[in-house]
Structures are given as C-alpha cells and as structure tokens.
Structure 1
Amino acid sequence: MFKTIPFAKGVNLHIRQTTQFKTVNFSFKWRSPLTAESASERTVLTNVLQHSNAKYTTTAAYRSFLDDLFGTVLYFDTSKRGNEHTVLMNVETVNDQYLANSNVLNEVLDLLHIAIFEPNLENGVFKESIVSREKQMVIQRIESIFDDKSRFAQQRLQQILRPNEPASISANGTVEEIGKITPTSLFAAYESMLTNDKIDIYVAGDVNEDEIVAKLKQVLPFKDRTPEEIPAVLPQQHPKDDYVREQHETKQGKLHIGFSTPVRFGDADFAKMQIFNGVFGGYPHAKLFMNVREKESLAYYASSSYASHYGLIFVVSGIEAKNEEKALSLIKEQLAVIQAGDISDLELEQTKAMLTNQLKEALDSARGQIEIYDQYKDLPEEFTVEAWVNKWKAVTKEDVIEMAKQVQLEAVYFLSGKEQAAQ
C-alpha cells in the first residue's frame, strides 16, 4: 500500500504514489512514551507551532500565506495509541498538475521546513506571551469535557479502571502539568521531540517518487536517533473500586461499564474480538442497541467499543437514574446470552459487512489510507483489504462465543443528576 524508505535512523518515509486524489497529503508523526507530563507539554507545543513561526510571526500572516497556496491546509494535533503519544502535523495541498503555471508543491515543501524547524522564538526560547495564551487554550479544551457528560463519564471510568496508566491519560495532558510549563521547558520538549522521537512521514498523491524523496531530504534535516522503546503492554492495575456513583448537574444518567479481555490489537484472535464487539454493541443491529434501547426502552443510547491496545471493552449508555439497576442487569444479560450461544446468522453477517464497509470507506480518502496503514503496518503480515475481509469472514459463531467467555466485568461508573440522586 505504501512504500517505506529509511530516511534516517529512527525516521521512516512512507510513500503512496496514486492517481486517486487531486491533492497531495503529508502526515508527520512524532512518537514518544505517553505520560501526563509529556502529553501536556506536547499538546501546548502543537498549539504554539500551529499559529506562527519565524517567517510568519502572526496567525493572520500564516493563514494568509496558506490561503495563497490555493487553500493549503496545515495543522498540528496530538493523539495517543496504546502506550505512545503522537504529535501530528498534517498537510493537504492541491496537486500542481491541476494548476496552470504553478509551483505550489515546492512552496509547500519549503513550508514544511519552516513549520517544523523555524519556530517563533525570543531569546532562544518560545515567546512568553504565546506560551501563556496557548496554555490557557489547552486548559480550556481539557476543562470543556466537564460540560459534555458522556465524555466526562467515559474519562472517569478510564481513570477508575486504569489509574495513572496510559489508558486513562488524555492525549491533551492535565491542567496540573500544563500549569508547570515555561517557555524554557517547552523549548526543551520541542528539541527533544525533533532529536529523540521515532518519526513516521507519510506522502500520498500523484507525485514523482524520486523527486519528492530528494526534496524532502533537502528540507527535512532529521538526524539519526535511537528512540526510546515503547512497550506494547504495561503491567496492569485493577480498579480499587468496582462500582462508583457520582452526581453532577445533569438531566440524563450516564452508565459506563468497563470490561477487560486478554485479546489485544495484533493478537491471533484480534479479528474474532472485533466481531464479538460488533455483535455485542458496536453497531445499530447489535444486542445492546436492539434489546436495551429498542426492545426495553431502557436507554437513550447504548453501545460498546473495543479499545484493543489496552484490552478493554467499554459500554456506554444514557439512562434515567431510576433505571440504573435494571439497565445494568440487562447489559450484563446481553454478554451472557452471547456466551450461551444466542447469536443469529444475521447478526454475524451484518457485523462482518459493517466492519468491511467501514474499512473500505476509510480508504476512500488519503488521510484514511495513511491512518489505516499507520495502524496496521507493524503487524507481521502485510496489510491488504482482502486479507482483513477474509479474516472477518472466517470468524464463526463458536469463535464469538469463545471471545465472549474471555470478557470480564471490571468496573461500573454511574453519573446521575443531583435531584435524581436525592429522589
């Protein structure tokens, strides 16, 4: 799917030459171990790098230049996957082939160098005023989760399930750690990212491979590095409290449940566990939706998700507080009926079709192709759509029963309104 070319030690370039798109897409991924401190520093850093640099010292000037490049999009962000934290820089620009007398791609390549290697500094570190402003912006982003009770409840469940582990650490970091950041410490984090992080660079579009590699080597002076090893699995804690109730100002109760499974991303049974999750609660035809929401009308919504890098399955539902026990019992029952073999051929086939369609839809965009390949590239076998569709097709009812029997309830979190709790 992508051709991988060593760029420097610890830095890999992945190119997909394709006529499928009229744009050229770049994606940079800097990876390091995930901690609350590093996530906080790196998220503030992405905000600082996003809005200005040494050449375009104001947000307005930067945006204006991007607009002049036929609406080129360039943005920084952070994410997490398993035990690693990733700083992203994504760029999408028009392909010169569709423009008359234009050299946009070369200008964008030069801009990559400026965006990464020429930050907006003062006395050798980031500007105090910019750092202070962007710290507040990130703090506001973190605190905004309190107003979204579904996201808040999910965050609390993860903190209860795996306290102080990557599974419960936000990719944005914490308010406490952000408060400690100074212009000097942020510049040190920036230098460490450029010097020490494992880096993957993606290019997708109708480009001349030799020319783009030569130009990227010219504008991206990444040096050899030996990135810190990021373990795929860390020692697991288990929750001290397996049932936590809290009250906020909210009209709708949030019942969030955490299950564990020994099956993780890349394991031999990974495809089977994906099918189990789809039958359990991953889609509108699944048991949670059809029985808890539709048949019994106990939930405004009810679904499950599989956090495969952590070996966790989450069930989320919005309910009336008075239905807490009944809803929890019915959710547990859906797992029990799968364990007992109550799985229809239709549920199985619909789940396989949904997984297949999701994968194919993701590959309709350059960004989707990059993200899918980036996720699957480290598995032993080469990624192809056909290979994964065949893995899902091969999953039997007996396989799903086997997966269900390995799923263990670990913790329940229920958030209700204060008035509801009083009643």
Structure 2
Amino acid sequence: MFQTTKLAEGVSLHIRKTTQFKTVNFSFKWRTPLTTKTAAERAVLSNVLQHSNARFRKSAEFRSYLDDLYGTMLYFDVSKRGGEHTVMLNVETVNDQYLSNQPVLNDVIDLLQTVIFQPNWKNGQFVPSIVEREKQIVIQRIESVFDDKTRYAQQRLTQILRPNHPASIPASGTIETVKEVTPASLTEAYQSMIDNDKIDIYVAGDIDVEEIQEKMKKAFQFKDRTPQKPTINEDSKPEKDYVKEFQDMKQGKLHMGFSTPVKFGDPDFPKMQIFNGVFGGYAHSKLFMNVRERESLCYYVSSSYSPHYGLLYVISGIEPKNEKKAIDIIFEQLDEMKKGNIADLELNQTRAMLVNQLREALDLPRGQIDIFDQYKDLDEEFSVELWKERWEKVTKEDLQQMASQLKHEATYFLCGKEAE
C-alpha cells in the first residue's frame, strides 16, 4: 500500500503513488510515551507551531501565503493511541499536474521545512505572549468537554475505570498541566520532539516516488534516535464499580466499562471487532434494537471497542428513572450473546458494515494514511480483502467466546440534580 524507506534511525518515510486524487497529501506523526505533562506541552506546542514560524511571524501572513499556494491546507493536531501521544502535521495541496503556470510542490515542501525546523522564537525560546494565548485556547478546549455531557461522562468513566493509565489521560492533558507550561518548558518539549520522537512521514498522491523520496530526504534531515517505548500500567483497576454524579441537566448519561483480554493485533482481534458490531456498534445491533427500539428506554445507545486498551464501552442517554431497567436489558443482551442467540442477519450486516467502513476510509487520502499507520504495526501487507476474509471466518461460537471473556468493571451515571 505504501512504500517505506528509512530517513534516519527511528524516522520512516511512507509513500503511496495513486491516481485517485488530484491533491498531494503529507502527514508527519511524532510519537512519544503518553503522560499528562507531555500531552499538555505538546497540545500547546501544536497550536503554537500552527500559527507562526520564523518566516511568517504573524498568523495572517502565514494564512495568506497558504492561500497563494492555491489554498494549501496545513494544520496540526494531537491524539493518543495505546501508551503513545502523537503530534500530527497534515498538509493537502493541489498536484502540480493540474497547474499550467506555477508549480507549488517544491514551495510546499520548503514551507514544511520552515514550519518544522524554524519556529517563531525570541531570545532562543518561544514568544511568551504567543505561548500564553495558545495555553488559554487549549484550556478552553479542555473546559468545553464539561459542556458536552456525553464526552464528559465518558471521560469520567475512563478516569474511574483506569486511573493512572493512558486510557484516562486526555490527548490535550489537563487544565493544571497546561497552566504549568512555560516558554522554556515548551522549547524543551519542541527540541525533544524533533530529536527524540519516533517519526512517521506519509506522502500520498499521483507523484514520482523516487523524485519525492529525494526531495524529502534533502528537506527533512532528522538525526538518528532510539525512541522511548511506552509502558502501560496493567495493574490499574477501577476505583469503584459504580459512581453516580449530579449536574444541571435533563438527560441522564449512563456509561458502562468492560474489559477484554483481546487487544489490537491479537489473533482474536477480528472476532472482537465483529462482537462489538453485533452487540452495540451499529443500528442493527442488539443494544440498539432492544434497549432503544423495543423497550424505548433510551435516546441513543451504542458500544465501542478500544482495542489498544482492551476495553469496551457502552454509552446511552436515558431518563434517570429508567436507569435500573436499562442496565438490566444491556446485561440481558450480553447474556444473549453468551448463549449464542445471534441471527445470521446480525452477523452478515456487521461484516458488511466493517468492510464498507474500510472502503469508505480508503476513498480519502487521509483515510489511507491513517489506516496504513495503524495496521502497519501488524507487520503484514494490509488489504481490504485480507480483513474481509478474516471477518467472514468469525462464527457465532467465536462471538460466544468473546462475550464470555468480557468483564464488567465499572458503571458511571450522570444525571440531573432533581434526581438526587
């Protein structure tokens, strides 16, 4: 899918030549072990790097230049996966083949080099006023979770379910750790990211592979590094198995956490993907059809599988008075799966949905990059057909086994104060 070459020790370049798109897409991914401190520093850092650099010290100038490059899109973001924190730099620009007079690819690569290696510094570190401004924006982003009660309830569940564990560390850190960021600590975090992080660089588009390899090698001369491997606290256990909290709100948020021994890359991983789809992943699932449609107990209900942590979540929006009945019927659906009461239609629809999701993602350059970035860790050539074949082999007996291994660990219920 992608051709991989090594730019330096710990730095890989992945190139995909494809005629699917009229654009050329770049994605840089810097990875380091996830802690609340690194997450906070790197969330602020991604904001600071996005808006200015040594060449364009003002955001307006920077954005104006991007517009001149035929509306080239450039943005930073942060995420987490397993025990790693990721800073992403994504760029999409028009392919030179569609420009009659002024090619832009070389200009875009030069700009990327500036953005990465020439930050906007004053006296050898990031500008204090810019750092403070971007800290406030990150803090506002973290605070906004409180207003989205579903996201807030899910955050509280993971904090209860896996304290002192990457699963419960937000990708932007915490308000307290963001406040502790200084221009000096941010400069140190930037230098560590450039010199020590594991780096994956992606290029996708209708380009000459050898030519782009040479351009990228010349422009991005990263030093050799031995990236630090993340560690996950496998001893992390729930603080409590049930927590109920109250806020000014109408709809109750019922979130349940389960653990499974099956993680990403395990032989049973495809079985667990199918299990999640049949249980609560889609609109044809047991949870949706029974808790919502049959019993009308919730506004929404679904399950999601977090394979890097071995966790499965059930989330629903309910009337507080329906809490016990909703929980009972959720467990009832799990029991149905343990007994093997699974319709052929449920199984076939789930297989079809998983295949369609992959194909839809591969219709976008960013989807191709993200899927390869995840599945490349399995050390095998990725293809839709390979995964379709694996999902086709999953039986009802396999799903019974997945259900029997699932262990309920914690429930979090957030509801209005009138329910106290």
Q: TM-score, normalized by length of structure 2? A: 0.99
Q: Is contact 2:164–2:236 with CA below 8 Å preserved after alignment?
A: no
| Cα distance in 1 for residues equivalent to 2:390 and 2:65 | 47
> Aligned ranges for residues 225-236 of structure 1 at < 5 Å?
225-231=225-231, 233-236=232-235
User: Which residue number in structure 2 is paired with residue 391 of structure 1?
Assistant: 390
Q: Deviations over 1:255-291 (max 9, x none)?
A: 0000000000000000000000000000000000000
| Cα distance in 2 for residues equivalent to 1:40 and 1:109 | 28
| Cα distance in 1 for residues equivalent to 2:235 and 2:312 | 15
User: Which residue number in structure 2 is paired with residue 201 of structure 1?
Assistant: 201
| Cα distance in 2 for residues equivalent to 1:184 and 1:234 | 30
5+ residue gaps in structure 2?
none
User: Which residue number in structure 2 is paired with residue 43 of structure 1?
Assistant: 43
CA deviation after TM superposition for structure 1 residue 381, in Å? 2.3
| Cα distance in 1 for residues equivalent to 2:235 and 2:335 | 25
User: Which secondary structure state, in structure 2, belongs to the residue aligned with residue 6 of structure 1?
Assistant: strand
**Is 2:219 aligned against 1:219?**
yes
> Aligned ranges for residues 21-420 of structure 1 at < 5 Å?
21-231=21-231, 233-420=232-419
User: Which secondary structure state, in structure 2, belongs to the residue aligned with residue 12 of structure 1?
Assistant: strand
* AA of the residue aligned to 2:292: R
| Cα distance in 2 for residues equivalent to 1:329 and 1:155 | 23
CA deviation after TM superposition for structure 1 residue 237, in Å? 1.3
Q: Is contact 2:33–2:230 with CA below 8 Å preserved after alignment?
A: yes
Q: Is contact 1:162–1:236 with CA below 8 Å preserved after alignment?
A: no
Q: Deviations over 1:100-144 (max 9, x none)?
A: 022200100100101101111110000000000000000000011
CA deviation after TM superposition for structure 1 residue 382, in Å? 1.7
**Higher deviation after alignment, 318-327 or 377-386:** 377-386
Q: Is contact 2:15–2:203 with CA below 8 Å preserved after alignment?
A: yes
CA deviation after TM superposition for structure 1 residue 234, in Å? 3.7
Q: Is contact 2:250–2:416 with CA below 8 Å preserved after alignment?
A: yes
Q: TM-score, normalized by length of structure 1? A: 0.98
| Cα distance in 2 for residues equivalent to 1:119 and 1:36 | 24
5+ residue gaps in structure 1?
none
* AA of the residue aligned to 2:354: L
CA deviation after TM superposition for structure 1 residue 378, in Å? 1.1
Identity of aligned residues (%): 65
**Higher deviation after alignment, 20-29 or 210-219:** 210-219
| Cα distance in 2 for residues equivalent to 1:75 and 1:268 | 36
- Which runs of 4 or more aligned residues in structure 1 lie more than 2 Å from their structure 2 counterparts after TM superposition? none
CA deviation after TM superposition for structure 1 residue 87, in Å? 0.3
Q: Is contact 2:299–2:317 with CA below 8 Å preserved after alignment?
A: yes
Q: Is contact 2:257–2:408 with CA below 8 Å preserved after alignment?
A: yes
* AA of the residue aligned to 2:271: K
| Cα distance in 1 for residues equivalent to 2:379 and 2:351 | 23
| Cα distance in 1 for residues equivalent to 2:146 and 2:270 | 35
User: Which secondary structure state, in structure 2, belongs to the residue aligned with residue 378 of structure 1?
Assistant: helix
| Cα distance in 2 for residues equivalent to 1:255 and 1:104 | 51
CA deviation after TM superposition for structure 1 residue 204, in Å? 0.3
The CA RMSD over aligned residues, in Å, is 0.7
